[in-house]
Structure 1
Amino acid sequence: MSKAFIPTYDICSLAMGRPASEDILVARFSAYLAVHKDIHFPHRHSFYHLVFFTAGGGSHTIDFERFPVKPGQLYFMIPGQVHSWFFSGKTEGYVMNVSADFFNAFLQDAEYVERFPFFSGVSAEGVVQLPKATAPVVTQLFEEMLKEIRGEQVYSQDLLRLKVLEMFIQVSRASRQKHAKQEPPHNYVLLRNFRKLVDQHYMQLHLPKDYAARLYVTPNYLNAFCRHMLGKSAGEIIRDRVLLEAKRLLINADMSIASIAYQLSFEDNSYFTKFFKKYAGVTPEEFRKNIS
């Protein structure tokens, strides 16, 4: 397949023989790889995607950030993120593809799933190394999901929803226990709202004051808050989102550098090139050449 663009897969295209109307797929990872042998190159999903590794090595890349594959590791991806992988040795575990609609018939709060920290859309936050005590719990939940995915008993879909949500909660608890300092809940709400606004408006709004006004806080407070929570200023978070989208667009060889600069609201091609070189370490042309 040409690397001139990033393909986007929906659940139906990766269904492994399941009915096209399904909103969820759960499978053993080795079986998934055997059916979809050519999805190691960069691609996106239109659904939530996660893999739990129980054996294997190699690496997987999420939004151009590379992570080593380790047993006991989960990675979570939200729709639209770009990823690829390279495995060494026998890789085993479990894979889940699930649409947002899968939960909508069950939960009154449409944003409930987005609140889990591993679904922030930040690559490093979506990779979780489970404590040894939690890995068997997650393994057992996946085994129970594999039974329910067959849909042979009444209420199978509802029980499957419960198992998926229980797994999300168990992983969230385990990952937060690793951090000694626990933030008050309202801090996570503000952080999630800021990130959501950035994801919606980063092409047009590049200044922290624009987001602070929408969050009803001062720019100084927003910057201090972001440094406290993430070790970065609000401006850096906005800049990182613009840089990430630039990298995603650069994979499309049919888009000119000037077109990308215009889409990202840069004044001109020269300013965009200087911005990209400063923060990515290479020019847009060099980045494109390296990934081709």
Structure 2
Amino acid sequence: MNRVPQHKSAQYIRCGVVVREIAPHSTNHPPITYDHQDDYYIFGLIESGTACGMIDFKELHLAQNDVFIVQPGQMHRFIAAEGIKGWLLMVDCSYVDSDEKCILDHLLLSASAFKIENTERNDLCGLASILAHRLNSNKGMSIGIGTQRMAEAFVSVVAEQAQKFTLQTKHSHRHTEIMLQLRNLLAQHIAENHQPAFYASQLNISTVYLNEIVRKLTGLSTSSYIKNEIVLLAKRMLARTDLSVKQIANQLGFEDWAYFTRLFTQATSITPTAFRSKYLE
């Protein structure tokens, strides 16, 4: 049984696109204060004020000119805001093309938010305002090609700015590509194999070279990075399912669930059982 709600695009996003204006004291769309997951993208823009939220168990503090992105599958919730004004765009995954997805995945290696200049903020606000007007005038009918293109343009501008932000890290394109390939491999095989050597072989590089790349981009060894990914998956499962710690350990590839418990506790300073109890209290 799922403890954490799973929001689906077909249920929550009319015609694949929803735009919401964020304004102080607005009651039209109260922020979601409980943890949940979506199968669609959320792009947020802060015009003024401050806000705080949680994405994948990490607090995110936002201020003027910040753009934040919640990717499909990430657990998130609103915590607090003060004098907040801005926009939210929620779009089905079909509105994000493969190049943009690659850029957003690259961003995820280092951040969930970044700051933009006033000019880009004004461009995005203008697009969001026109989109909101068009959707509100649509009266539930299927949206036209012009409205679709505007939503896609909003996503493209965000991806363009995200790419500028990630380029500031000055990591080589080759290293970034290998890191993204590693993430894809982990999504496929993390329950089967936790060894850096396995992933290095899949990437046709040496374990030493893979470790060098992962450390440059994340500050962690490959082994530590893999453990962090395991712990994140375990947190999601502890929060959203009724599976026992032993069952979660087995699903994540640990025959010895006591070892899994030690690994989780070492990484988080709390046992899996205590994390579940604290998280759901």
Amino acid at match of 1:24: V
1:98 aligns to 2:84 (yes or no): no
- Alignment of 1:56 with 2:54, yes or no, is no
Alignment-derived partner of residue 16 in structure 2? 23
Structure 2 CA distance for aligned equivalents of residues 119 and 50 of structure 1: 16
Matches within 5 A, 1:57-206: 57-103=50-96, 111-117=98-104, 120-122=107-109, 125-132=111-118, 134-147=120-133, 149=135, 155-176=145-166, 179=168, 182-206=170-194
1:76 match: secondary structure: strand
Matches within 5 A, 1:223-234: 223-234=211-222
Query: Against the structure 1 CA distance between its residues 215 and 186, is the aligned structure 2 distance closer, same or farther, given a 3 Å change threshold?
Result: same
Matched AA of 1:143: S
- The letter of the residue matching 1:127 is A
1:102–1:151 Cα change, 3 Å: farther
* Structure 1 residue 82, shift from structure 2 partner: 0.1
Of structures 1 and 2, the one with the larger relative CO (CA 8 A, separation 6+) is 2
CA-CA distance at 1:61 after TM superposition:
0.5
Aligned length: 275
Cα distance change on mapping 1:118 and 1:151 into 2, 3 Å: farther
Counterpart of 1:142, as a letter, is: A
Q: Which one-letter code corresponds to 2:79 in the other structure?
A: F
The two structures have a TM-score, normalised by structure 2, of: 0.86
- The structure-2 alpha-carbon separation of the partners of 1:203 and 1:159, relative to structure 1 and needing over 3 Å to count, comes to same
Q: Deviation string for 1:57-114 (max 9, x for gaps)?
A: 34100000001231221211211100011123342211111122235xxxxxx52222
C-alpha distance 215-142 of structure 1, shift in aligned 2 (>3 A): same
Gaps of 5+ in 2: none
Q: Which residue of 2 aligns with 1:106?
A: none
On the 8 A contact 2:36/2:77 being kept in 1, the answer is yes
C-alpha contact (below 8 Å) 1:7/1:44 kept by paired residues: yes
In 2, Cα distance between equivalents of 1:202 and 1:276: 15
- Alpha-carbon offset, residue 202 of structure 1: 1.4
Taking a change above 3 Å as real, the CA distance of residues 222 and 29 of structure 1, as seen in their structure-2 partners, is same
Q: Are residue 10 (structure 1) and residue 3 (structure 2) matched?
A: no
Residue 56 of structure 2 aligns with an amino acid whose one-letter code is D
Q: Distance in 2 between matches of 1:51 and 1:165?
A: 11
Identity of paired residues, percent?
A: 20
Which amino acid letter does the alignment assign opposite residue 9 of structure 1?
H
Which amino acid letter does the alignment assign opposite residue 265 of structure 1?
A: G
Matched with 1:47 is 40
Kindly state the Cα deviation for residue 148 of structure 1 after the two structures are TM-superposed. 5.0
Q: Unaligned 5+ residue runs, structure 1?
A: 104-109
Question: Could you tell me how far apart the structure 2 residues matched to 1:38 and 1:140 are?
Answer: 23
Mapped contact 1:78–1:119 kept (Cα < 8 A): no
TM, length-normalised to structure 1: 0.83
